[in-house]
Amino acid sequence: MKKNIFFSGEEVRNKQVVLRDYVSGYLKESDMCMATATITLKVPEGNSKAVLVKNLYLSCDPYIRGHTKSIQGGYADEYFKPGSPIVGYGVAKVLDSGHPDFKKDDLVWGFTGWEEYSLITATESLFKIHHTDVPLSYYTGLLSMPGMTAYTGFYEVCAPKKEEYVFVSSAFGAVGQLVGQLAKLLGCYVVGSAGSKEKVDLLKTKIGFDEAFNYKEEKDYDACLKRYFPEGIDIYFDSVGGKMLDAALLNMRLDGRIAACVLRKLYVSYCMIILT
């Protein structure tokens, strides 16, 4: 295989996935387009702490859909601009750096553009990869935002114990799948909800949930949860709120814990509810 050789200061073509305009309603393929720009493979003078990278892996996370909408003063206005590349988590290799913490050929993960090369000025969102004994793609999922969200929410917020009863909503999402697997590794009984038969089947046959159900087919969430948790729920990892949260509250056991997971800006926040 031919190895790419990059020269500092070289100008190259840069393929990009560009947001055409802010989105109303569901995101469609036509809301994005492929574009080609040019970029110089050197940090410009004056950007003393910027980092120029070649992107290796990009993560398509569910939260991106919400951030393509125009919300004044919100995340979209800051990071998602029509005519510019979409922004998300990725893994990249440093080609040039003005930042003392990052050097040429370092591998990093963090916020970058959906493009071949990115000049990253918000370097506070970058983390150097020290462990390369796992596939680099893991740093867009298991070892990135979804993994940290699942691990922190489940272990630090929910404080689980072996053999507890765990319910996970949005269980087929990037975070929900990991929460369910962490719970099973600890020895818990785990049930998840998802929005299709295919997702439900995969949760049970591939991901390892004890049970799962299609919430779109359930008319009475309270009765549904009583069917799967006749002795009540110890931990509810909530990513949907609404009627599902209302039903879960009716089925929580004494000292049960609910972690309400919300992603806002660059941070994951949790609301903890403890039933006494």
Full DSSP string of 175-229: HHHHHHHHHHHHT-EEEEEESSHHHHHHIIIII--SEEEEGGG-S-HHHHHHHH-
**Looking at domain 10-140, does it have CATH number 2.60.200.20?**
no
pLDDT reported for residue 79:
60
Contacts of 222 (CB under 8 A, 6+ apart): 247, 250, 251
Confidence of residue 188 (pLDDT cuts 50, 70, 90): very high
Q: List, for residues 113-172, the tens digit of each pLDDT value.
A: 999 999 999 899 899 999 889 999 999 989 988 898 999 999 999 999 999 999 999 999
> Do 111 and 89 meet the contact criterion of CB atoms below 8 Å apart?
yes
Least confident window among 132-146, 219-233, 244-258:
132-146
Q: Per-residue pLDDT for 29 more than 50?
A: yes
pLDDT reported for residue 234:
97
Q: Per-residue pLDDT for 263 more than 60?
A: no
pLDDT reported for residue 206:
97
Q: Per-residue pLDDT for 45 more than 80?
A: yes
pLDDT reported for residue 76:
47
259-264 average pLDDT score: 72
> Do 218 and 233 meet the contact criterion of CB atoms below 8 Å apart?
no
Per the DSSP assignment, residues forming a β-bridge with 119 are: 52
Question: What is the rounded average pLDDT for all residues in the chain?
Answer: 88
In the chain, where the domains are located: 10-140, 146-260
d(C-alpha 91, C-alpha 143), whole Å: 11
pTM for the whole structure = 0.80
Q: List, for residues 72-112, the tens digit of each pLDDT value.
A: 544 444 567 888 899 999 999 999 999 999 999 999 999 99
pLDDT reported for residue 226:
98
Locate 132 and state its tokens: 């390369």
Q: Which CATH class is domain 146-260?
A: alpha beta
